[in-house]
Amino acid sequence: MEARLRHVFQRRAIWRCPLDIALHFDVNGNVEKKSVLAALAALSQESRLDIFRLLVEKGPQGLAAGAIAELLGLANATLSFHLKELSHANLVTARQSGRFIYYTADFRTMNGVVTYLTENCCEGQACDVGCRPTAQRKRKTS
* Mean pLDDT, rounded, for 43-47: 97
Question: What pLDDT, on the 0 to 100 scale, is given for residue 37?
Answer: 93
Rounded CA-CA distance 102/142 in Å is 38
The pTM (predicted TM-score) of the whole model is 0.69
Chosen CATH of 2-118 out of 3.40.630.30, 2.60.40.1240, 1.25.40.10, 1.10.10.10: 1.10.10.10
pLDDT on residue 5: 42
- pLDDT recorded at residue 51: 98
| Amino acid (1-letter code) at residue 13 | A
In this prediction, residues 72-92 reach a mean pLDDT of 97
pLDDT the model gives residue 33? 86
Q: What is the mean pLDDT of residues 67-89?
A: 97
Reported confidence tier of residue 122, pLDDT bands at 50, 70, 90: confident
Which is higher by pLDDT, 5 or 132? 132
**How many residues does this entry show for the chain?**
142
Please tell me the predicted confidence (pLDDT) of residue 136.
59
Residue 130 confidence (pLDDT):
58
What's the helix, strand, coil split of the chain in %, to 5? 60, 10, 30
Residues contacting 107, CB < 8 A, separation 6+: 56, 60
